[in-house]
Structure 1
């Protein structure tokens, strides 16, 4: 019992230290997940002396934590974002992982004196981006990235783990049994189809199961979040047990459940947010404890060289080739290439060669650990400056807002929102609340009063309103503070505006001719942008057409574009090299070159 209490004390202390380190990370801009990893290293066998070497336990704990993170990631992904980014993101999650593994494997073959198979195994281990790191940076990192780019990165990080796990597990099995790729080629294809197909089908079925149980079973409000999380882990465990990809299944289940109207949704979201934080802390701490830093100097130089190769060569080439058919600008492709952080997933996969008793098992783990730390340090520390440099940070549409969503009992078809009236908000300046919103209560200086008798709203008033689901965006604008207009906003949104109902033919006549095809000329500008982007328009979406850029400058409460900005300045490329050109731009450049040669 004394040992149990000591272990509990040490574990709790580490979690608290990791939680408090978020204040340090916010102050100095350090990558928080890297801090969690370093705390585990400091507390480990070469630091404070905690000797944790149970690889199986670390893998199991890490897998459960990752399943929790992936479910929450899927739960917070809107169906619109998923549809908009699904094809490019899934291309990155499959072919991108394979290309990265091959390129990295070639470099590992020469830098570590590995065989080709050993190099490909190490490449497979580090080939996938880390969902925890990517979602943390994009959702809680204090930056607002364009929806299309953010969705691409989120969906990629949520769906690329199955490919990396499949490649790693297959190669470990081949090497452990001294087999060749030729001997089990068909078996690999069957295994891959079972992993991906099982993950998709059981994930969708699991999402339906979660929604139906929460809707039909009279669950106590406080138990609803626990039911949802337990069902998600059930989907993960069952899918994995029958040979499917549990990580893909739990992510798909999260997307389905998160896009359905559920009771106690606010409680579910808050509970999952806390559980995701705890899962991230535990996962990175455990993996940090598992490492032995005294072994790192032996392979530090080649491992750092491999990390730099991954960040600056392998990842950018794989991203460019995968996004080539899609209309991503050079800057967008460049940013996607940069946000390819490696994290806990790679370290978890590096445990598999040790569990498979491979000859260089510990070497894979140590090399991967160094690659992850370098990736988190370089990319995690520079995401915001790179996003600003490449023009991916969206100017805020509204200022600060203080809002609370409250759950209603039963199946009421309304939402209850509580707003605090902040300085410089439109409602404080006399803007009227729309008729479809039903203000019910105002709390002023601790005193409750009916809205009808409160008179003109004052700063710091708490206002409670009932609204129909999906209509909160306009109210957010009424209760938000005045946003500061940046000098760069005109550069971001263009020098002047046009109506989205104008035709493509007018656009082609003004800035062409030859910019648009015959079919595109018959579309409105809004339809043209939607066709190019492959989904509904969102605030700050951009489409480059020839030498002009069309930008969504304003949207209404339903999300429809009401104003389009036009930038006549050519968009500066992400690099001087023609590395990130998309297919349309390559064809346009060839035509321009041919036309000049003829002249």
Structure 2
């Protein structure tokens, strides 16, 4: 087929449609969608020659920014706060332990130098949140475990990147300054955390205060601020990905105007970047080269799943209040995904001696992990009693929008148990001028608001309010 502009656009459209449809089948088969996306990329490899590691890395990092930002936006701080210590331990001690163990095996199995083996361990040391929860789907997994896996997956990427870059530097320079590495680690993580919080505050202020002509620009502004966070933090040699995740959690848990539009836009854009990233990374792999490293890749994948990851989890959570079964589940739920494959492009760009072989083995390990662990995570969760009934879809769906240039919007407010307004009639609420309660969701029913309607705990109110009066309206409705 001749690759004209029209044909390329047609191919792009067909790929997106196929990828979206495969996500439906992946959830039914219990497999992470990344398996299908990578397979599509590998299939296209027969028709499209692509070996530009630099372009793949650039696109991969941009995709990771979007994916981490979207994940942070939907992360509930009240859940993460309770598992902050274990998830932080998993993201640091767990990754280091996994790196050292699998790096030891890789040194002998792949016949590498010690630093090259440790670099391989660092590359496959982090887990992938998107892959994990694509497999779990709508399973009602225990909040404690879900929050732990979510926080670990969102925060362990910077550690894996730091270790990988450090080992590459050591391989190229042949000089090892442990003090410099330790100081560099604390600088990257500490400054990344602080600047992530600062950028989060800036983002919330800008989104809530700037009056744009179209509500559709606010999601674009939020994404632009996420990319700006990564670039400015990376410019001072700190962890840009950690900063993006922290910034997103802060933004997602703040009182934000146009929240629904921002979250839905980034969710859709995150899926598209996820799809395109894995297809692009699949194009980098030549299937005939995987045959020559099949047994090495399989051996390292099994050692990662059954030895390195479990030891890393149990070691890092030794003094945590988690049962043996919970640690087993967290160990098995450590799917590898986007980050290891993106990190595997670093040695390629650096021009290291065994970089292509390492990339192929990393790809094999990630694909195998996703295939075997991905197909069994849901089953294991059910066997261990960590899932409840399948979550029912919401009985309501209401688009929250801004009303053109009137600077008004519809916001969602939930009446909590014990609120001062419980039992009050709507006419008793002294709402600001130009504020209107448009709908009340009560259980599975939509209640038409009237002056005599009494509020109950659990009611979800949709309120039309001007931007200037939003805070006042929320205080009156939620606090009485």
TM-score, normalising length: structure 1: 0.68
Q: Does 1:269 align with 2:260?
A: no
Equivalent pair of 1:176/1:357 in contact (CA under 8 Å): no
Q: Which residue of 2 aligns with 1:157?
A: 153
CA distance in 1: counterparts of 2:170 and 2:426, whole angstroms: 65
Q: Please, which of 474, 482, 486 is the counterpart of residue 458 of structure 2?
A: 474
Which is greater in Rg?
1
Query: Residues of 1 paired with 2:72 and 2:425: CA distance?
Result: 30
Please tell me whether the aligned partners of residues 32 and 370 of structure 2 are also in contact (alpha carbons under 8 angstroms): yes
1:187 to 180, 185, 205: 180
What does the per-residue CA deviation read over 1:143-186, in whole Å, with 9 as the maximum and x for residues that have no partner? 11111111110000000011100110111111123x132xx222
Provide the secondary structure at the position in 2 that maps to 1:52: coil
Q: What is the CA deviation profile of residues 498-520 of structure 1, one whole-angstrom value per residue up to 9, with x for unaligned ones?
A: xxxxxxxxxxxxxxxxxxxxxxx
1:415 aligns with 2:412: yes
| Structure 1 counterpart SS, 2:257 | coil
Counterpart position of 1:310:
304
Q: Distance in 2 between matches of 1:385 and 1:307?
A: 20
Alignment of 1:154-553 (within 5 A): 154-177=150-173, 179-181=174-176, 184-219=177-212, 220-395=214-389, 400-405=393-398, 406-407=400-401, 415=412, 435=423, 463=447, 474-475=458-459
- Do the aligned partners of residues 355 and 465 (structure 1) sit closer, same or farther apart at CA in structure 2, a change above 3 Å counting? farther
Q: Is the 8 A contact 1:235 1:250 kept in 2?
A: yes
Deviation, 1:118, is: 1.4
Q: Which residue of 2 aligns with 1:28?
A: 29
Q: Deviations over 1:379-436 (max 9, x none)?
A: 111111000011111346x85531224346657896279xxxxxxxxxxxxxxx9645
Deviation at 1:30, TM superposition (A): 3.0
Query: 1:208 and 1:249 mapped to 2: Cα distance?
Result: 12
Change (3 A) 1:117 1:221: same
Give per-residue Cα distances to partners, 1:474-533, cap 9 Å, x unaligned: 247xxxxxxxxxxxxxxxxxxxxxxxxxxxxxxxxxxxxxxxxxxxxxxxxxxxxxxxxx
> How is 1:86-125 mapped onto 2 (pairs within 5 angstroms)?
86-125=84-123
Match of 1:9 in 2: 10
How far apart, in 1, do the equivalents of 2:422 and 2:100 lie? 58
Unaligned runs of at least 5 residues, structure 1: 418-432, 440-449, 477-557, 559-599
SS of 1:144's equivalent in the other structure is: coil
In structure 2, C-alpha distance between the alignment counterparts of 1:298 and 1:324, rounded to whole Å: 39
Match for residue 468 of structure 2? none
Residues 465 and 64 (structure 1), Cα distance of their counterparts in 2 relative to 1, 3 Å cut: farther
Asked whether the equivalents of residues 218 and 262 of structure 2 are also in contact (C-alpha less than 8 Å), the reply is yes
Counterpart-to-counterpart distance in 2, 1:293 and 1:316: 30
What is the TM-score when the length of structure 2 is the normalising length?
A: 0.84
Aligned-partner Cα distance in 2 for 1:72–1:437: 38
Q: Could you tell me whether the CA contact under 8 Å between 1:109 and 1:119 is conserved in 2?
A: yes
The C-alpha deviation readout for 1:57-77, integer Å capped at 9, x for no partner, is 000001000110101111111
The one-character-per-residue Cα deviations of 1:47-92 (angstroms, maximum 9, x if unpaired) are 3x11111100000001000110101111111111121111000011
Contact conserved, 1:263 with 1:411, CA < 8 A, in 2?
no
Q: 1:463: how far off?
A: 4.3
Give, in whole Å, the separation in 2 of the partners of 1:292 and 1:199. 36
Q: SS where residue 394 of structure 2 aligns?
A: coil
CA-to-aligned-CA distance 1:536-570 (integer Å, 9 cap, x gap): xxxxxxxxxxxxxxxxxxxxxx9xxxxxxxxxxxx
CA distance in 2, matches of 1:82, 1:372: 27
Asked whether the 8 Å contact 1:33–1:133 carries over to 2, the reply is yes
Q: How many residues align?
A: 435
CA 1:297 to 1:400, structure 2 compared with 1: closer, same or farther past 3 Å?
closer
Alignment partners' CA distance in 2, 1:340 and 1:297? 25
Distance change >3 Å, CA 473–CA 91, structure 1 → 2: farther
Q: Deviations over 1:445-481 (max 9, x none)?
A: xxxxx999xxxx9x99754669xxxx998247xxxxx
Determine the C-alpha separation between the residues in 1 that align with 2:424 and 2:383. Answer: 42
Q: Which residue of 2 aligns with 1:39?
A: 40
Query: Which of 28-37 and 380-389 deviates more?
Result: 28-37
1:85 counterpart residue number:
83
Q: SS of the residue aligned with 1:359?
A: coil
Once residues 190 and 425 of structure 2 are traced to their aligned partners in structure 1, the CA distance between those partners, rounded to angstroms, is 45
Q: Select which of 66, 69, 72 maps to 1:71.
A: 69
The structure-2 alpha-carbon separation of the partners of 1:307 and 1:473, relative to structure 1 and needing over 3 Å to count, comes to: farther
